Amino acid sequence: MKRRILGGTGISVSEYAFGAMMLGEWGNPDHEEGVRMLHTALDAGVNFWDTADMYSGGENERIVGKALKGRRDDVVLATKGFFQMGSDPNQGGLSRRWLTRALDDSLRRLDTDYVDLYQVHRPDPATDIEETLSVLSDFVRSGKVRAVGSSDFPAEQIVEAQWVAEKRGLVRFRAEQPPYSIFNRAIEAAVLPTAQKYGMGVLTWSPLASGWLSGRFVRPSDVDLSEGRRTLQAHKFDPALPANAVKFEAIAQLKKIADDLGRPLTHLATAFVRAHPGVTSAIIGPRTPSQLDDLLAGADLELDDDVLDRIDDIVPPGTDLNSAEKDYTPPALADKHLRRR
């Protein structure tokens, strides 16, 4: 497994990161199997593990904590905070009040006294970025956190955070975690170049486009909207929507490229993400040991210019095949009252 340096931190991380989101109630409820999967990945050279407080209501961090026993020094550990963890409005967001508690709760569940990368899971329009960076700086100075990062930040908010950190003498974001896949390429236009400009590491998630590039979906009848999260995310999966219907033709063309390489579609998809010079690590999120084995087997694939050009012809650079799939919508677009006097 190849290694890269995470931004300017000097921390060496694997090209794959194990995204543990599917371990626990949301995916695989067998804790011991989850621990074995994390150990299998680590033994294969995947030293970068990513989780978050809200995954399966904290259960995910507890599974990761079990897997860390006796191997903490071998793992570069990342977790995140922001989403609601209770009914009280103050049990979420990026305020000093909440993040101080959120980090301590994560450390307790993970059964460790520090995390290598603590990320704010989404932008918080209710909290001044200086307030957030101030408490994150205190985390670093206390030794509870080695480096801090953002997730799903638009390019302009990445720039603002860097500017505020410089002007106020605060710890700056060293990494950004955006979605990135062959089907979701919008970050190529501004987010990736901005992260590169500021020397930030980039830890991308969903290289299989929420499962579209797993090889499971070849025709519309393959999509079962009654299955778990696909019910809640019909805008991403409903084949009756034109923006999703076009995915099947794209999959057929991508499958042809993968077949020409003698590889499964999953290998092509993950290799595409790793090919971008702005990407430090691609998060893989297996639910089962067999899925993990398949993804690990693709770690050696490198795509040449001809293959990347063929992919560009299918999904143009800087575009999302389905523009409705954004996981963060700025308040100015989400709240109509902000656009009307």
Q: What's the pLDDT at 232?
A: 63
Q: Is 268 helix (H, G, I), strand (E, B) or coil?
A: helix
Closest by CA position to 81, among listed 111, 49, 46, 107: 107
Sequential DSSP letters for 155-210 = HHHHHHHHHHHHHHT-PPP-EEE-B--SSB-GGGTTHHHHHHHTT-EEEEB-TTGG
CATH 3.20.20.100 fits 3-339, yes or no: yes
- The one-letter amino acid at 197: K
Q: What is the pLDDT of residue 225?
A: 82
Report how far residue 225's alpha carbon sits from residue 232's, in angstroms, rounded to the nearest whole number. 9
pLDDT at 221: 87
Residue pair 303/263 in contact by the 8 Å Cβ criterion? no
Q: pLDDT value at position 66? A: 98
> How confident is the model at residue 231, as a pLDDT?
60
Q: For residue 262, what is the DSSP state? A: T
Query: In the prediction, which pLDDT does 228 show?
Result: 62
Q: In this structure, are residues 81 and 106 in contact, taking their beta carbons and an 8 Å threshold?
A: yes
pTM metric for this prediction: 0.95
Neighbours of 220 (CB within 10 A): 13
Is residue 46 within 8 A of residue 306, CB to CB? The reply is no
- DSSP states of 58-98: GHHHHHHHHHHTTTGGG-EEEEEE-S--SSSTTSSSS-HHH
Task: Taking each helix axis as running N to C, give the angle between helix 59-68 and helix 31-43, from 0 to 180 degrees, rounded to the nearest 10.
Answer: 50
Sign of the four-CA dihedral 220, 221, 226, 230 = negative
Could you give the residue ranges of the DSSP H alpha helices within the chain? 31-43, 59-68, 96-110, 129-142, 155-168, 191-197, 229-232, 234-237, 242-261, 265-275, 289-297, 305-314, 331-334
* Residue positions annotated with a catalytic role: 55
What pLDDT sits at residue 273? Answer: 98
| Other CB atoms within 10 A of residue 250 CB | 18
Residue 298 DSSP symbol: T
**What pLDDT tens digit does each residue of the chain (341 aa) get?**
999 999 999 999 999 999 999 999 999 999 999 999 999 999 999 999 999 999 999 999 999 999 999 999 999 999 999 999 999 999 999 999 999 999 999 999 999 999 999 999 999 999 999 999 999 999 999 999 999 999 999 999 999 999 999 999 999 999 999 999 999 999 999 999 999 999 999 999 999 999 999 999 999 988 888 776 676 678 888 888 999 999 999 999 999 999 999 999 999 999 999 999 999 999 999 999 999 999 999 999 999 999 999 999 999 999 999 988 888 888 888 889 988 98
Q: Which residues, including other chains, have CB under 8 Å from residue 45's CB and lie 6 or more apart?
A: 1, 14, 299
Q: What is the pLDDT of residue 229?
A: 63
